[in-house]
Amino acid sequence: MSQQHPRTLGELKATGYQTRTVKDEIRANLVLKLKSGDRLFPGVQGYESTVVPQIVNALLAKHDFILLGLRGQAKSRILRELALLLDEATPILAGSEVNDDPLAPLSKYGRNLVTEHGDDTPIAWIGRDARYVEKLATPDVTIADMIGDIDPIKAARGGHILADELTIHYGLLPRANRGVFAINELPDLSGKIQVGLFNILQEGDVQVKGYPIRLALDVLMVFTANPEDYTARGKIITPLKDRIGAEIRTHYPEEIETGIEITRQEAWVARSGTCVEIPDFVAETIERVAFLARGDKRVDQRSGVSQRLPITMMETVVSNAERRALRHGEDVTVPRIGDLFAALPAVTGKMELEYEGELHGADRIARELIQQSSSQTFDVRAGGADVDDIVDYFETGGALQIGEDSSSAACVQGFETVPGLLTLIQNVGLAGSTASDGLRVAACELVLEALVAQRRISRNTAGYTRAPHQGPKPGKGYQGFDPMGGLGS
């Protein structure tokens, strides 16, 4: 830390330093942020008027709290950003395992150090990140892991009897003293371990195995849990739940725009060696897949559909477009609607299915979600647009075959054969007349996929022949809708 910090107990006292609890410290820093208008939890979006005010209330009341929500709702990120409310640096007794307060040592080591050196006792400074301790709850966690146990090696090396406090091997909770201690997936802790947390939440102390001592720890305890875990893998025992000050429910993005912003923030799309240009309607279509899945009865809503679905889907879509651009030597990578189907592996693994969904299959459901999403995006952006010329072209025998890996220029040539298609995307604002070929192709695919979803034309995915000597190449063919033939596969 900075050399300006006091390095001995005497120097620290001379500064007028006073001890305050970690909850008082967090409260004071939170008050300053509220007064200055600073954004709280800067890495989290969509909770400004729902979850964040409840967390603020809990912290102002100096309460421990639990975040209760489905997977992929930024619970862990919120807890980790609590460290931003701690002081930038905090003094401890040098060498202390439990972050002993120089003015009020907790451990025997700390008390002995002050007794021996007095005002010359060495002081160390730790940053806020070192004061945040996180533990993922698993059924094999023991009391020794959480609180502590006897360490025979310490006793042998120091010549101590086993009853001496200096032989304690401290667990995670004492090591989080004067900081934030977070437990993820609390219901996965066995009942006896949850019982071991009673004292710290109510009386503020813990007992280490057979030692006749009480450690008056100073910690903010925070937890996360999935509502489904209450009845599936475990549950929070009632006395522990009663001791947690606030139960705060998280949720998925409530607006498409919020989801798009989260995905844009989290997805890795900036690729070296190529410029990536993501059409806003492609980003919207990707996000709508997650929103539709969260309302689909074939998908297990108790398990939830994580926000990681659109994030990984976006990354895969960009990768598929990047692969195509590299193959054709294109300087700009532009994802298309067709690339969403290449991202099926990023979708199917993120959905737990109900019995009906298992009968249909995850792959089929994912394809249907992408088509429905394309239809919704088109309707929002171009609802009421005249598409009769496009539909008539296919109904009167016209057909269009587009290779999945075809260059943007080749695709534009194909789309020019469909009357009104390129004009439509210009008129409805999906792509301007000066837009690149990549954007025009992406917009045309949105129109066509929307018409497929609305059963006005059909699409078959199969190999099509470029030339006898070249063999079949993967692609998709659009044609008039056949009520007996369905949508194809």
Please state which architecture CATH assigns to domain 9-244.
Answer: 3-Layer(aba) Sandwich (3.40)
Nearest to 172 by CA among 223, 129, 134: 134
Q: What is the reported pLDDT for 169? A: 76
Higher pLDDT, 46 or 487: 46
Where does the pLDDT of residue 258 fall: very low under 50, low under 70, confident under 90, or very high at 90 and above?
very high
Least confident residue range of 202-216, 244-258, 316-330: 202-216
Q: Per-residue pLDDT tens for 98-156?
A: 999 999 998 888 999 999 999 999 999 999 999 999 999 888 888 888 887 776 666 56
Question: What letter would DSSP give residue 486?
Answer: B
Region 187-212: mean pLDDT is 78
Question: How far is it between the farthest Cα atoms of the chain?
Answer: 97
**Structural contact between residues 182 and 244, judged by C-beta atoms closer than 8 angstroms:** no
What are the residue ranges spanned by the domains of the chain? 9-244, 256-480
Nearest to 455 by CA among 435, 482, 473: 482
Q: What is the reported pLDDT for 159? A: 61
Q: What is the C-alpha separation between 411 and 372, in angstroms, rounded?
A: 23
Where does the pLDDT of residue 467 fall: very low under 50, low under 70, confident under 90, or very high at 90 and above?
very low
Q: What is the reported pLDDT for 209? A: 66
Residue 399: CB atoms within 10 Å: 14
Where does the pLDDT of residue 470 fall: very low under 50, low under 70, confident under 90, or very high at 90 and above?
very low
Which residues is 5 bridged to in the sheet? none
Rounded-to-10 torsion of CA 295, 47, 52, 230: 20
Higher pLDDT, 189 or 287: 287
pLDDT exceeds cutoff 50 at 35: yes
Q: Per-residue pLDDT tens for 426-435?
A: 877 777 667 8
Higher pLDDT, 165 or 347: 347
Region 81-86: mean pLDDT is 96
Nearest to 43 by CA among 76, 71, 9, 11: 76
Question: What letter would DSSP give residue 39?
Answer: P
Average confidence score pLDDT of the chain:
87
Instruction: Supply the pTM of this predicted model.
Output: 0.86
Tokens standing for 474? Answer: 């993967």
Q: What is the reported pLDDT for 469? A: 39
Least confident residue range of 203-212, 395-404, 439-448: 203-212
The string of DSSP letters for 193-262 reads: HHHTTHHHHHTS-B--TT-S--B---EEEEEEE-GGGGTTT----HHHHHHSSEEEE----SSHHHHHHH
Q: Per-residue pLDDT tens for 62-73?
A: 999 999 999 999
Q: What is the reported pLDDT for 297? A: 95
Least confident residue range of 14-28, 213-227, 272-286, 316-330: 213-227
